[in-house]
């Protein structure tokens, strides 16, 4: 039994103009890199967790071709929503179009053998910031979002509630409990946060997340705190190779 993780695929099959090369040379032919590396390490019987920002499609019907691209890769896949997954729709509509190898978490949990998996997108929080570690790259193809602090706080509260709903549906007897979020659930210093407190309460063993790009350094992202292993699994951070979480010691190889 092996479980892998990756995030921020940012597939541009349905939206070719949004190819990620805009964000730097490391994104050159990134979809080809993901496919090659995935097929090298993931077996059909494995599980792959994809922690948001799956593709650039704007509507669910557009996203089908991106999801079919994921479907042809080995393994069973579990996805959560990222902040750029504008195509994400209701559970009923998602269930009607998702390929057979892809499952999603939305106020739910996924169980696989003796492993329970939960999660939610999360959102920005004032508890911690990664500004000093990230080289910010303005995206000229998108209209800058003017942030209203009170509105941002409401979104975070809603996402934290969704995470709790998901955690409540995880089998407490599971041997391994994994949570996937898109936004980081904790700061780089691994100090307690509202989200980490929730994960600890439900006995989570592993937490994975994406969202962070163009890091100034690769060290200290992240580590273990109070019994939970935290992994940043953004595709570019992993050099577009899924990270193995279960099956042997986690390694991006």
The pLDDT of residue 132 is above 70: yes
> Could you report the per-residue pLDDT of 70-116, keeping only the tens digit for each?
999 999 999 999 999 999 999 999 999 999 999 999 999 999 999 99
> Could you report the per-residue pLDDT of 173-207, keeping only the tens digit for each?
999 999 999 999 999 889 999 999 999 999 999 99
DSSP H stretches of helix in the chain:
30-41, 60-71, 91-97, 149-168, 194-201
Helix and strand element counts for the chain (H, E): 5, 11
The percent of residues in the chain predicted with pLDDT above 70, rounded, is 91
User: What is the spatial distance between Cα 118 and Cα 180, in angstroms, rounded to a whole number?
Assistant: 6
pLDDT band at 170 (very low <50, low <70, confident <90, very high): very high
Asked if residue 25 lies in contact with residue 35, where contact means CB atoms within 8 angstroms, the answer is no
Helix (H, G, I), strand (E, B) or coil at 60: helix
The token pair that represents 73 in the structure block: 């890769």
Cis peptide before 222 (omega within 30 of 0): yes
Answer whether CATH 3.60.21.10 is correct for domain 3-246: yes
The pLDDT of residue 219 is above 60: no
Q: Residue 136 has what pLDDT?
A: 62
Closest to 228 measured CA to CA, from 196, 250, 252: 196
The token pair that represents 205 in the structure block: 């063993």
Q: What is the pTM of this model?
A: 0.92
CA distances from 77 to 17, 53, 68, 134 (A): 26, 14, 12, 29
Q: Residue 21 has what pLDDT?
A: 72
Average model confidence (pLDDT) across the chain:
91
């Amino acid at each position: 039994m092996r479980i892998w993780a990756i995030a921020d695929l940012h597939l541009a099959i349905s939206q070719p103009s949004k190819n990620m090369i805009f964000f730097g040379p490391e994104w050159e032919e990134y979809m080809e890199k993901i496919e090659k590396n995935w097929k090298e390490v993931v077996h059909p019987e494995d599980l792959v967790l994809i922690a948001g920002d799956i593709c650039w499609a704007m509507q669910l019907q557009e996203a089908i071709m991106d999801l079919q691209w994921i479907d042809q890769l080995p393994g069973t896949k579990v996805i959560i929503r990222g902040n750029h997954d504008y195509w994400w729709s209701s559970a009923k509509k998602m269930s009607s179009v998702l390929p057979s190898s892809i499952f999603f978490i939305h106020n739910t949990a996924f169980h696989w053998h003796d492993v329970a998996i939960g999660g939610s997108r999360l959102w920005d929080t004032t508890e911690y910031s990664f500004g000093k570690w990230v080289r910010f790259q303005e995206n000229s193809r998108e209209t800058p979002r003017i942030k209203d602090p009170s509105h941002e706080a409401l979104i975070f509260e809603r996402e934290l509630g969704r995470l709790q709903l998901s955690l409540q549906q995880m089998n407490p007897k599971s041997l391994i409990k994994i949570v996937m979020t898109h936004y980081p659930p904790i700061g780089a210093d691994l100090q307690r946060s509202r989200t980490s407190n929730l994960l600890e309460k439900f006995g989570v063993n592993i937490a994975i997340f994406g969202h962070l790009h163009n890091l100034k350094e690769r060290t200290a992202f992240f580590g273990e705190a109070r019994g939970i292993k935290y992994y940043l699994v953004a595709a570019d951070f992993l050099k577009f190779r899924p990270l193995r979480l279960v099956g042997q010691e986690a390694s991006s190889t």
